Each structure stands twice: as C-alpha cells, then as structure tokens.
Structure 1
C-alpha cells in the first residue's frame, strides 16, 4: 500500500526529566499576563518601555491643572510638583461586551472596569475561555480607594438617588472588585479582596499561589489596580516625605527625595506548574516560592519600614523556594527612592544574602517606580510583571535616574548593584532567578522568588493545514481582530501555526460574528486574510443557536482512486476506522481493501470501478469519515443515504452493527457482481419527463431532484438512450458503475439477498434517518424488516423526496459525509439560496486539486460558522498542542464618565441636594444603542412606547427596540425592580419581578401589561365600567 501512517511524534519526550522536582511539587506557573501602565496599554508596550528605559511620568502645564480643578494659589506654591503617572483611557470601557448598561458603566469606578478588562485579557493571553473551562478559577486582587466615587459621583446626589445608592456602592466599593469579575466571567473558584496597602497585589499573588497548592482552585487570577482621579493633578512636596521633590523617582541614588504617584493595573494567570506542563500551557516564569509577614511593633512607627521584617520575609521565601541566594541574579526592589526606605531595604537584602556568599556585585537590582511611579496597591504586581518579562527576554532593563549611591548604602561591599542600562541576563550557576519585593505601609511585607520557565518544545503536527477561527461581538470588532492577527503573523514567528490554530479554537470565547480560514503557515494566513480571499476567508453571522446536523451519505459512482488518502495519512481516527473495516472484510472476502482504495503504482487501478470493490470501499471511507466527525463532537440528529449510503446511515443509527453492515455490503457487492453488465446514466430531466424513455430495458433508478434522475439499463439500451438524448440536446452524465442497479435486472438476486438479511440482527434506529424507498422517515418496523432491505435494493431511490423532508427544518445543517459533492448539489437545487451555506460537502471530488485535509477542515469551519456544536479541542487529538499568546480581544471602548460638577463639593451641599432631588431625575447623559443580536423595531402602540421610555430612562440608552433583550442592554435585577415599580405606577398593574426575567423584551412585557389591565377591568363591577374608567386604565 502506498499510504504510510504519517503519525507524528507523541508527547514531548523528556520534559519532566528536565524539570526540577521541586517545581513539579510546589512550583506555580505564570501562564498569562495583562497590564496597563503609564506609557503602555499592554504587556508588549510595557516591555518596550522598560527595555528602552523610558520615563513615563507626565508633567502638566498650568492650563491642564486648572482645567482639572486645581486652584491657582496651589500652583503658585513653590513646593507644588506638577507630575503624575497618567494611565490613558481610564474614562473608556466596552460596556456592551461585559453586559453593562451605559448607566451602570458610568457609575462604576474605572478601577473595577479596567480590572475586569485586564482579567479577561489575561485569560485570553493564557489561552483560556472561562466559559469552556471545567475547573475552578479563583480571583485574588486589590484596589485603591474609589476617588471616582468621592470626586465624580457624590457631588451628583440627584443621580445617585435616581440610580439607587446600593447600585452605586456595588460599582465603587472595594468589596466587589473580585466578585464582579467572577460574576461577569463565570468564574467559580474563591474570589476575594486582599488589602495591605502598597504590598496588596504581591500578597494577592502569594495567596493565590497557596490556594492553588491547596487545590482550592485550578487557575488563579491575581493582581491589583490603582487609579486616582483626576489624574491631571500634582502634589505638595514635603521634606522627608514619600513623594519626590521634582517628579523623578531616583531609587537608591544620593539625590533621591522620594517617589511619584502613578496609575495602572496588572493581572497574572497562575496554575500549578505540574498542571501547566501537562496541559501544554506556555509558561512565562515559575514562582519557586513566596512569603508574607508583618513587621510587628519592632520599628520606629506604624508607617516606618523594618530591616528585621524585610529580612525575615526574604529569608522565608528563599527557604520555601529551596534555592541558594547566590543563584538569584536580579532583584526587583520596592525601591521608592526615600531617604529612609532605600537604605533599610538594601540592609535587609544584605543580611540575608551575605549568609550565602561573600561575593560582591553579583546581583543586579532595579525599581520599576523609576519608570512609571508608585502604583500604590498595584505596585507589587507591576514589579512582578517586569521580572517575568525580563526572564522571558533574558534581559535586565535599566533602573532610571541612578548616578551616585545613597551615602547610607555601601554597594561596594554588597552582593547588589544598581543596573543602569539594558543588559543581557547571564546566570552561569543556575537557571535565571529573581526576587520581587513589595512592602506595605503598616508593615505587611511580601517577597516572591521567580525562575525562568523550563524549556519545552512544541510537537510537530501531522496536519499540513490548520483551521483558524475568529469571532467577535460586533462586525467592526471582527475586522479589528482580523487586522491584529495579520500584524501578528507578519512578525517573525517561532510559534507553530498548529498551536496558534489550537489556541484560537479552544482559548477564545465564541461570539456571533465569525470568520474562518484554512492556512498552511502564518504567512499564508496573513496574506489570505489581508486580501479577504472570498474562497478561503469565510465570514458569517451566527445567532447563538446550536444548529442540528444531518449527515448525507453518497452512493455508487462517487468513488475515486485514493479517496481519503490524505485523511488516512494524517488523521488517526480516520485511519483506525478504515483499518477496522479492512480487518472485518478480509476474512469475509479474502481481499485487502486498503490496497484497493490506495493501490501502489504497480497495482491495477481499475478495480475500484467494479461494483464488487466499489461498494465496500465506499462504505469504509464514509464510515471512517463519520467516526472523524463524531470524534470532533459533531453528532448527527438526522441521516440520509443514497442507495449504498443508506447502509452507512443505518449502521451509524444502530440498525446494523459494523460487522453486520459490512457483511451485508459485501453480500450485495457479490450478488450485483454476478449480474450481466449494465450502465447507469444521470439525466437533467424530471421524473415525468423521463417517462417517455422508460421501457423493459431502461428503468428509473433514482429521483435526485426536480430535474435530475438516474436511468438504469443494459449497455445496449443505455447506448440507444444516449443517442436519443444527444438528438434532443438533453444533458447527461455516465455514472462509473458496471451494473444496472435499482432496476428489474437485480430481481434474480433478491432471494439470496433476503436470506442474507434474515441472518442479521436488526435494531430500532437510534438516530432518525430517511428511507430511500419511501422518501420519508423510516419506521422501526421498516428498519427491522428484512423485506424492507430487499425493496431498498430493487426500488427507485426517492432521494429528492428525502431532501425535501429534511429541508422542512429551517435550522438543519446538511453535511455530505463521503467523496465529492453530488448530494450537496442535489440538496441545493431544492433549497432556498439563503440555505446554501448550510449545505456542506466535506471531501473533495475526484477531479478537484485541493487536498482532503483542506476540504475537511474548511467543512469544519463552515459548520462552526453556521453554529454547529463542535468540540474543537479534539481536532488535534492525540497531538499535544500548546496554548500560546496571541492578540487579545479588541475592546470597543467608549466614554462612560460622569464629570465632577464645576462648583466645589461638600457634604452639606450633598445633603441639601439629596433633600431636593426629584423621584425620577433626568439622566446626565444618554448613549447610542449598542450592537445587539436583535434588529431595531420601534414601538407600535402606546403601551410599548411607555415601556420603552422607562427602559431608555433607566438604562440611559437611545433608541431601544421592542425586541431588544433587557439583559443584553445591560439590565440587571436592581433595574428590573425599578421597571416593575414604574409599571405599577404608570399602569396600575401588579407585576412580579420575575415578569421582567421571563418576558425579556418590551413587546412581550407590553403584552403582559395589557393582559393585567384587561384582568383589572374584568374584576371591576359592571357599574364601574364607565368610558372614563376604561380610558383611564389604558391612557
């Protein structure tokens, strides 16, 4: 046989032998990251900022500061420093993506909003879709106090009263930061806030790591955020205070006077290292160990740092990590640049590290605060991210503004030195290792030991082509997703396209706007996507419904030499099923059917055109293709076969076992082979039109469509028929068979076939299928009656009627499971044009040049586009593919922001405004209608209009349609309560809260309101039913 098995190498050999056992036992893998900092909107930009040594602190003009609300007299103070680390775009948010109404988004602290976006990005960066992940995902995070609540919301008492104070509290209080993420992303692991001032986010990483080791969750999100608004604001410098005199953080320098404020967010995705290695995750770094403690009272004051406390936590982390200090070659310090803090931090490090080594200048140190300022609760996670990126790129970025050491720090006799330029990270003694410190006011100290990720090679894929799937919530986001991926592929790539395809398939949420491409490599993908090649780049909108599938099995005439050869070489499931059929047929026939389908060059190639060989060969290929589809989670809800194809349908449905199906197919092939030679002809005529050509030598074998029939007869009769058809200019096609099937010519073999069927054990169908004999659904009685299968051999194939029956279900997808596209063409001839995309062949025609793998993957993509339920995680089975970092979702961020009032705010004024507030205050702003799954339809009556007004007021959305979903617009249970209250006041009807959840749309809710109003009328005494009463109820 000419086809080799083509199997790729199995799991990565020797991976675990290369990994330190301590890592497998208690190591934590960082598998995903996301951040936004001053000067950087993502992880890649952050690394670029670091390696270039950029200073991202912004210095403001007087005009900017005055516009932000600073007072003129403050600007004239010589101690006023006009600097801050500004995070761009804090007023922006993709509310619709996360199911927020515009109103809810506007009253939500930007810290909550941006942390939610970064949590989603980090999971995507790790290659995980939380909706499809079966394990527990925990959230551990920290945030600063909500300055947005204080400066922007509290002055608007009328807004707060109209919204409801509890709603405002949920969007701004620290307590709800992590639980909101868990709710919005459907995360079911532990979820709680961790607050220890500046060290909060690094403590969160420690707590998350412990939770993973204790198996409280399987994935953990850990991080922190700090955004203080307005950002265009400086500060007053105080001698020996925390903040710098000039807006520069000069950590460890003689000129250091403190740090500078900054705003930002960082999130990491953590897994147990053993799980990450097993699951094929890309590991960015390993947490070898971590520790947290508190200074206690052994220091000069509550806010002061402690040498003893810091030294103890560093020593504890080293002990947990089980590494020697002299193997740590970089230290990301707390590094605030204060006169007291810097010397204490170095003294604590010296105490610990001098116990291991007397060497000097062996460990570089730095502080990210010199680049972007002090990010308060988020400072620890940002320092951690800096180290992870440094480990990945094997470079140490410069720590800025260091010239001469603080005179209280003796670096010359210390293991440490300040790294002031971009340096290649060399570590001759051990894998690259680094420490990260974060110390909080109040004395809670955290220290984490990191190690570079162990080397793990990607496995070669056996597939020559790969299915890339893209989806987005809106059409414009889909285009942005496509452009991002094009740009990604055009960069120098070390990632295999198989891993990229796998990550897109399993690590991205599935949205309604969809696009697919089958490509061979990243450059091929980029070129096809850039051109939007219509034959390759397929795009469709899918409404969210999982659509059922019918499998269509072709019959004789569709076979060709080497059909499915690519699939046999590359797909283990297909190969195993083919081999299984061969093993069953060989004892029955004495023939190696694999060599019939895939002959070597020296073998005869014409055997496959003989019925004796073609019928078993076709069955084998169609059965193997079915097993492939089933392995990908694509299970049919209906089946139809054409002639021989019905045997495959019956086998898949459970009427025959595989063994008995093959025995019957072989019997049928043998019996037909005994008959005198005949021919079959496909003609472009209706059943009525072919009647004039029928006689005792020519029969109607199949009705395939309104103008497509198959005629069967002796060779002489068919030759005469061809001459007639030529005269009348009727299109026809010879079918490559050598018998006159489904005609009186087969009657001499019916008794023998009947005897064969009677020896089979027939079962009721488990999957419904269409009968070729009747053109409608087969009954249990028919399927289990041997006489039915005799009629099936002899009678006309009613395929056209069967297709009409299937097309009655408007949502049914039709998938041709066998060689060629003949059945798909017949189905499209009877379907409306809008259903053409739902009729899909999955194997190439014998004359097509494209490969079987390409065709199959494109068919898979078309099914996914149309909404079929698919287990994409199985496409590469049993290969061990990896989840790799790819561009994340392009949020369509809009401004959701309540500006502070121009006049000053005071509690007394707030109390006065609160007393004056109207019950339903007008909204401060309204927002455009978001992209929804429903088309806009305006209210058609007064009740619908009134409900529409209520929704628009509460949700602050313009142009709400009567079929728009309340919760898709961003509604929630609190707003639903207000809807019910307003309806009660407006229409004098009592509605339960669940009515909003059950009706969902204005149209349905209006029908319910009208029913309640009619019930109210019917309950009134007849004397009270005056015209005024009725008009009052409905006005």
Structure 2
C-alpha cells in the first residue's frame, strides 16, 4: 500500500432492506431496472391501516409510500428477547439490529469481535411506533421506562454493540435526512484516528402506519402525483419510504492485508452545516452544499473531472434540486461530463436511511462499472443544459476514463450536509481453487439451518465464486450455533448437488463434546493394500513422517503395502504403526491435538509413542520385533461373535481374545476348536464370523513369545505417558508403572483386548472420537454405544470406499466441527460475500388502539393460587410466552434484570411474599422460584393470610369484612 492510500478506507460489507427488496442484491436489480418500487394503496388498504375515511377521500390525498415488507416480524429468540420485550422495541431498532448483523457477517468480521475494536455509528427516525401504537395502547404496552428503553434514538447504536458483542465506540448520529451519510463520515474519522478497527455505519427508518400516504400541499416537499422525479422539469416533490442500510468500513491497508472483499474505496468525505446562509431553517443552501463538496474533494485528493457519477440528494422538489444542481455545477466546474442520479426515484425518500442507501447504490455502480439508469427523467431540468451533468435514462458504461469514481451527497433538514467520494476497489488475484473444500453451516433452529442451506445453494448456482473462498468464508467468519451441517465438495457443481439435501451432508444438533478430541488407533485387520498412498503423494507432513518410519524399519515398506507381504504379521504391524503415526502427525499439523488416546492391540503402541512412552525409533524396533515373534507362532483362528464377553461359554482350546463392543466379542484358538465352536453357535442362532487372520492373537498360542518379548522391551527406555492413554489389558487408564514395565507390554500381546471398556471410559469424557488409521473398525465398534455415533468419526474409508483419502479426511474434519471441535481451519482463501443468517421472523407488534369487542359474560373459574401456578402466570404475562416449562431458564427465555424485578414485585402483590430483589438470579426457573415462595410462606404465617386477602375480589373482601364485623357484635 503506497503512502497516498494511507487515508483511504474500504467498504467491506453491505446490508439493507428496502422497499420491494429484502437484501442488497434485490435492491441493485431494481436500481438497474430503473423501476420505482413505491406502493400505491386502495381505499380498502388505507381503511385497514387505520387512515380515517375523510382523510383518504380528500382530493389532495396521495396514497403512495415506499413500503418495507415484514416490518412487524422480528427474530426475537435469535437476539435473546422475550416476545413481550420484542413488542416494546421500536421496529426501526429491530430492523437496524438485523441489518447490522448481516453487514458485519458479510464483511467477515463478525467472529473477530473479541480481537478487533468494532464501532457502531447509527441513526433512526422518530419512533412513530411509540407515538401511534405503544402510547395509544396505554399501560398494557409497558412502563414508561420500558417504552423509553425500547424506543429512544440513543439506544440504537448501543443495542447493536450489546447484542453483537462489539467493544468500539457506539454512537447515535442524528442529523435528520443526512444522518446515515454523516454516520459514514464519523465512522471513517474514528477509523483514521485509531478509535476502532472496523466500523458499522447506517440507519433504519420505519414510519407507521406503513400502508398510508399523505396529503399534498402546494409548495410543500411531497409530490402531487406520488412519483419522485429528481432533476426532471415535471417533478413536483418527493415520496416517503421505509428502509435500512448498513455499510462496514475498515482502513484499506488492513482490508487488503486480511483478504477482505472490498466493494469500494472511500477516498474522502466531509460534513458541515449551512448555518444561517439560507432562507429558512428547513431550506437548503447553495453555499453550504458547495463548501462540503469542495472539502470532500480536497480530502479525497481527486480532481472532480475524474468523478464519473454523482449520486445526488435529489428529492425531486423544485427548490431543492435547483439549489443542489447549482452547488454541484460550481464545485465540479465545466470540465468533463458526469452522470447524475438519485435513488429516491426508485425507493422513495428513506429519511435518515437515505444517504447510506445512495452510498450503497454508488458503491455497486463503481464495482460493476455501470451507471444506473434514471428512466423517469423524460424532460431534464433546463439548468442541466448549462451544467457538466446529464441524467441517463438507460444503463450506460462508465463515462470517465481511469479508476471509476463516484460521489454521494446527502443533506438534512436543519442544514447538516455530507459528501463522500468513492473509488473502485483495487484489483485482486482470483483464488486458485481445487482439492477438497469443507462447507459448514449453522443456525439456532432447524428451520433456519434448512433455509441457510437453500440460500447457499441458490447463491452458488448463480455466482461463479472460487470454492476455496466459499469454504474459507463459511469456516472462519460465521458464528457457530446449535444446529449444524457440514459437507465436502471439490467444485461448485458438486457443492450445489450436495446442498440439495439428503444424505450428502452430515448434520448435528446440540453440544456433543467440550471441543476436545480423543484419538483411536485400529489394530491388525484394518490394513488394506495401498493404504496411505494418496496422502503420501499429496500431503507433505504425512510423507515426511511416513518416510522417517520407513527408513527406520529397514525394508521397502512401500513395496510391502502394494503386495501380498501386507498379509504377513511381521509386515502388517509395523506398516499399520507407520500409517497411523504419520496420519496422527498430519492431524496434529491441522491443529487437532489429542486430549486422550486409545488403541486396539498394535494401535496402543502408536498411542504410547505419541504420548512419549517410547521414542519413535524404539517404538518401531519394538513393533517390528513383536510382529516377527507373533508370526513365528503356530497358525490359529479367530472368530467374531455377536455376544457380550460375559455371556460366552467357551470350550477347551478357545479363549476370549477381545471384548470389542457391548454385544461383540472375538475368540481365538486352534483352528479345529474354533471351527467347532462356530458350528455350535450357529446352531444356537448366534451370529458369528471367521476373521481373515493367520494366527490366534491374544490367546495361549502366544505364550511361547511372552518372556522373550519382555526381555527385548527391557532394553529400551520407557517413560510415563504425557497424554492419557487407555490400556487394552485393564480397560482403564494406563498407569505410569505399567507404561514403564516391560512385562506390561509382553502381557499386552497375550491378554484379551478390553476395547469395550476403553470405549466406555472415553465416552464418559466429553471428547469427540477420531479414528486415526485405515478403515472404520473402531468407529463402528464405538458407535454401538448409545450417543456415540454422533461423536465418533473415521479419518479414512476402507478398501471398498469410493472416497479418496483426501476427501475422507476432509469429511472427518467437517464431522469434528459438527461435534464441537474448535477446528483451526487453514488460511486457504479470501472473505467473499455469501448469504447471511436467515432470520426466522415472527410477528411481534402492538397494533394501534381500537375499541375492544365486549367480552361475553361468563362465570369466572376458580383460580389456582398455589405458588407454582401464580409464578407460571406471572412469567407467561411478563415474557409474553403462553407455554413455559417449570424448569425453563428465565434468562434463556429472554428475561433480564429489569424484568426480574417486575417478577418479584408481582409475586409480592399476588402472594404477599417479600422475595429478595435478586431472587430470579438465584432461582431462574418457575419451579425454583415457587419453591422459594413456599419456603417463605412456611416460615411466615402472616404472608399466607395476606396472600389470601389479596386474592379476594373487592366484593368478596367487603363480604368477608361485613361477616367479620357481624361476628364481633
């Protein structure tokens, strides 16, 4: 980055909701089409919205407004609000909160809030929801403090900072119509001053009732015909609209360094005020606008002649457009030709959100290299003829050579003016894509996860984006939620296919593990010809450790893995050790470190070596000798039996060799004895299967080599394990004494393998389980225990698997992420814009006041006044939730300290019990709080009497008092 760019800023994130457009992509399509999306309403719609008939029947009433869809909806649960609290929050603030999340998520910086200072600079309009809906509803809506907290303009920035966990400045910016562009300027200054590393800037505007128009007043600012025509001789004014826009800013050097997607570069900006140099407080002024434009150009250090497009304030009012055009003409001079437009012609005037909406439009224009059309302008204002500006009615290529530059103006009632100069982003090299890409998605609900899957699929179908960038963005820039999905794809077509649903993706829900991993190393029988060959060709870390082991063994391991020698125990055991050890080192290089380990027979040696019991060279010598000695024993047979070990009735000559799973054992012995036993089992209806092995391992047929092997191991230095390892001999954790005892390792080749006990010990800990070796033997065994399959995954498929070894490992990495492991994803791409979180909105709305229907007369049912019932009733009312479980957590349901004090106060009113102010913190469930109330009632007899009195109606109380007075007489 050169010195000239030190003051440049980057726009790295965009988000918004606009009339007729749920996101920035749909908004840009409307802009390119040049079709206004302002709605017009029928009398029936106006009446339904609460507009008085005498108003909308008036000849000057204009039934037009830029409507925003689903303003009444909000994903309250996502942000931790109860339904009641959600109804009390200004929809402008709810809308801005969602857009802020989406903007920061799209920028790639949502997950880095703990590492970066993120500032928020935001604005909302006056809360008409408060004035026309909440206040009209009276006390039923909420207390004065609650209404203030939910609707005060001051809260918009701090609300976002709280919910997104942002620790930079959080500042509300209020300058009327220019608020959001002023927010961009203030945010930029904070970035340059080092007050924050990332900044959100923007605004939201929602006017209620939404489906209503306005009364035209001659000489006013609203259009006579409900159409906004900036810089057109036929223009009669503007039209209002609802919407929101947010941009994410960074210092350009930081954005380029971190591989952010830069939508546009902010070269410079300026803000000022007209002062008294105009005809009135609400009028615009040429001098102020001219000054702010020139100051911004100077700050940007650009020649106005190089600016190809100006996104004007452009309200379509006769006075406003003429003044703006006069100021622009003086600022730009007569050189060059500049396209002129205003987004208000499409969306209507979005009030405080107007400036950032124009900035988003200009940003997309410089990015795509197209000047958006203004087809509404059929008769340009005469003043345009003497200016350097033109209003194009069709989309045109950029009119000025050199880097594409645009300028954006926004002017507010009261005279605060803002002007920003932007430039196209610097060119970046396209990420080389190839190999296997792990795509991960998560959401707070199953429905949101399903929508996220569909959104990503549709995005990839329409966008040619490198899959490495897609995977990297999903892996590193999105927060991890309860419901998760992972899949592997080598290219875009495969990703689109696998995102179609069904078994092509792995899913998980809930917290399966604590994020730690236990390694499982399979034993003899898992080997197959060519195991590890692809990893040896393509993974340098695997190749390095594999070759080191092969060099120490003293025979051609690669040749052995390709031929029939692999069936010989003297080759099989060191070959398995080598592949599993190299694979473990490969996983560790990817940040997957074992918190515990277990192996099956020969696999225990790999675990012990990684735990530091053996040096690598010593371990290979021991394993090679073990294999040679065991192969020298007489041939035998092994049989897998579908029975628990303690239910086996074994004949002479047959022994338990392994207890592998709750209902799976292996026996071993002489071939004839094992064959006879198999026949008897099948006759009894017990499933069994002969194993492809030449010897009866872990049986008496190994006795002749036990002493010799112990003597051999005694020649090496043995240490205590530095990582917990499970013992095949005991089924428990390997002790320091056993690890250092040569006799233990000799017993280990003779004693039954207690793998099922090892699995039970591992599953008692909150580990994810990773089989580190060829095949899926141990994953299958562990998976026979309840709850284990979701926590266990294999690194590689077996010889019959259609997946390559690299794809299998990528799939395993995705499944570890599903299980909750904090995967250290490789830096193998750039941040790219992808679909953001699909909020699951529900209606949270207090309607305008209306005369209630008279309720039918009914005989009131006797109310349950037990503490449990009373507390349940209070919670349901204050949280706005009809069905609450007695063990549901108050704070998980959206409760907070303010609401907690209300709960305590309501319990006091209903039951006469003085709970401590913080009682809800100590007992955050209905059951717990009711128990606390019962305890107080039991120790205070007057409390119960007071509760009974408070439960009486006034009539009942008077009757009781009269009866009491009668008794006194």
Query: Shared fold (TM-score greater than 0.5)?
Result: yes
Change (3 A) 1:1000 1:727: closer
Matched, 1:798 2:727: no
Paired position in structure 2 for 1:733: 690
CA distance in 1 between counterparts of 2:827 and 2:37 reads: 47
Match of 1:869 among 821, 843, 847: 821
Contact 1:129–1:506 (Cα < 8 Å) also in 2: no
Paired position in structure 2 for 1:380: 355
Match of 2:87 among 106, 121, 142: 106
- After TM superposition, list the pairs within 5 Å mapping 1:809-820 onto structure 2: 813-820=768-775
Deviation at 1:20, TM superposition (A): 6.3
Contact 1:130–1:185 (Cα < 8 Å) also in 2: no
CA distance in 2 between counterparts of 1:703 and 1:731 reads: 14
Match of 2:398 among 425, 438, 460: 425
CA distance in 1 between counterparts of 2:620 and 2:936 reads: 64
Match of 2:163 among 168, 179, 184: 184
Match of 1:237 among 203, 216, 222: 216
1:156 is paired with a residue of what secondary structure? helix
- After TM superposition, list the pairs within 5 Å mapping 1:489-638 onto structure 2: 489-491=460-462, 493-530=463-500, 532-534=501-503, 536-543=504-511, 546=514, 549-570=517-538, 572=539, 575-583=540-548, 586=551, 588-591=552-555, 593=557, 597=561, 605-638=563-596
Matched, 1:442 2:414: yes
CA distance in 2 between counterparts of 1:1028 and 1:58 reads: 61
Contact 2:21–2:27 (Cα < 8 Å) also in 1: yes
Deviation at 1:848, TM superposition (A): 2.1
Contact 1:111–1:227 (Cα < 8 Å) also in 2: yes
Change (3 A) 1:74 1:787: same
Change (3 A) 1:78 1:812: same
Paired position in structure 1 for 2:957: none
Q: Which runs of 5+ in 2 are unaligned?
A: 856-862, 953-969
CA distance in 1 between counterparts of 2:257 and 2:534 reads: 30
Contact 2:535–2:542 (Cα < 8 Å) also in 1: no
TM-score where L is the length of structure 2: 0.89
Paired position in structure 2 for 1:398: 373
Match of 1:775 among 721, 725, 731: 731
Change (3 A) 1:582 1:749: farther
Matched, 1:368 2:337: no
Match of 1:57 among 31, 38, 55: 38
Worse-superposed segment, 550-559 or 941-950? 941-950
Worse-superposed segment, 800-809 or 790-799? 800-809
Worse-superposed segment, 778-787 or 551-560? 778-787
2:748 is paired with a residue of what secondary structure? helix
Deviation at 1:477, TM superposition (A): 2.4
Q: Alpha-carbon deviations, 1:177-200, whole Å to 9, x = none?
A: 011111112222211111112111
Contact 2:263–2:363 (Cα < 8 Å) also in 1: yes
Deviation at 1:269, TM superposition (A): 1.8
Change (3 A) 1:705 1:196: closer
Deviation at 1:397, TM superposition (A): 1.5
Change (3 A) 1:656 1:998: farther
Contact 2:10–2:251 (Cα < 8 Å) also in 1: yes
Change (3 A) 1:450 1:738: farther
Deviation at 1:446, TM superposition (A): 1.4
CA distance in 1 between counterparts of 2:559 and 2:10 reads: 49
Paired position in structure 2 for 1:917: none
- After TM superposition, list the pairs within 5 Å mapping 1:82-121 onto structure 2: 82-121=63-102
Paired position in structure 2 for 1:655: 613
Paired position in structure 1 for 2:260: 281
CA distance in 1 between counterparts of 2:726 and 2:281 reads: 81
CA distance in 2 between counterparts of 1:685 and 1:96 reads: 48
CA distance in 2 between counterparts of 1:321 and 1:657 reads: 63
1:364 is paired with a residue of what secondary structure? strand
Paired position in structure 1 for 2:799: 846
Deviation at 1:98, TM superposition (A): 1.5
Matched, 1:155 2:136: yes
CA distance in 1 between counterparts of 2:620 and 2:415 reads: 77
Worse-superposed segment, 114-123 or 652-661? 652-661
1:271 is paired with a residue of what secondary structure? strand
1:961 is paired with a residue of what secondary structure? coil
CA distance in 1 between counterparts of 2:841 and 2:648 reads: 63
2:691 is paired with a residue of what secondary structure? strand
Contact 1:432–1:451 (Cα < 8 Å) also in 2: yes
Deviation at 1:753, TM superposition (A): 4.8
Q: Alpha-carbon deviations, 1:751-774, whole Å to 9, x = none?
A: 4654545532513x3433221111
Paired position in structure 2 for 1:971: 895
Change (3 A) 1:637 1:81: same
Matched, 1:959 2:883: yes
CA distance in 2 between counterparts of 1:348 and 1:664 reads: 88
Matched, 1:463 2:435: yes
TM-score where L is the length of structure 1: 0.84
Change (3 A) 1:699 1:105: closer
Change (3 A) 1:752 1:527: closer
Change (3 A) 1:195 1:995: same
Paired position in structure 1 for 2:959: none
Contact 2:542–2:582 (Cα < 8 Å) also in 1: yes
Matched, 1:823 2:798: no
Contact 1:512–1:544 (Cα < 8 Å) also in 2: no
Contact 2:434–2:491 (Cα < 8 Å) also in 1: no
1:51 is paired with a residue of what secondary structure? helix
Match of 1:31 among 3, 8, 12: 12
Paired position in structure 1 for 2:963: none
Q: Alpha-carbon deviations, 1:282-339, whole Å to 9, x = none?
A: 2222212222222333334333333332233222322332333222111101112222
Paired position in structure 2 for 1:16: none
CA distance in 2 between counterparts of 1:991 and 1:735 reads: 71
CA distance in 1 between counterparts of 2:96 and 2:250 reads: 20
Change (3 A) 1:31 1:736: farther
Deviation at 1:625, TM superposition (A): 3.0
Match of 1:644 among 593, 602, 605: 602
Change (3 A) 1:545 1:959: farther
Match of 2:789 among 819, 836, 846: 836
Matched, 1:42 2:6: no
Paired position in structure 1 for 2:659: 703
Alignment length, in residue pairs? 939
Match of 2:388 among 415, 420, 432: 415
Q: Alpha-carbon deviations, 1:713-750, whole Å to 9, x = none?
A: 6xxx4377447746875743334567956655464464
Deviation at 1:264, TM superposition (A): 0.9
Q: Which runs of 5+ in 1 are unaligned?
A: 1-18, 600-604, 905-921, 924-938
2:607 is paired with a residue of what secondary structure? helix
Change (3 A) 1:332 1:680: farther
CA distance in 2 between counterparts of 1:99 and 1:472 reads: 14
Matched, 1:292 2:257: no
Contact 1:610–1:738 (Cα < 8 Å) also in 2: no
1:31 is paired with a residue of what secondary structure? strand
Change (3 A) 1:513 1:1033: same
CA distance in 2 between counterparts of 1:814 and 1:423 reads: 58
Q: Alpha-carbon deviations, 1:900-926, whole Å to 9, x = none?
A: 22489xxxxxxxxxxxxxxxxx99xxx
Contact 2:541–2:585 (Cα < 8 Å) also in 1: no
Match of 2:744 among 785, 788, 797: 788
Paired position in structure 2 for 1:919: none
What is the alpha-carbon root mean square deviation over aligned residues?
3.3
Change (3 A) 1:270 1:808: same
Contact 1:371–1:400 (Cα < 8 Å) also in 2: no
- After TM superposition, list the pairs within 5 Å mapping 1:254-403 onto structure 2: 254-354=233-333, 358-360=334-336, 362-403=337-378
- After TM superposition, list the pairs within 5 Å mapping 1:888-899 onto structure 2: 888-899=836-847
Contact 2:239–2:349 (Cα < 8 Å) also in 1: yes
Change (3 A) 1:256 1:611: same
Matched, 1:199 2:178: yes
Paired position in structure 2 for 1:218: 197
Q: Alpha-carbon deviations, 1:106-160, whole Å to 9, x = none?
A: 1111101111111122223234444776322221111111111111112222225
Match of 1:473 among 437, 441, 444: 444
1:301 is paired with a residue of what secondary structure? coil
CA distance in 2 between counterparts of 1:288 and 1:694 reads: 89
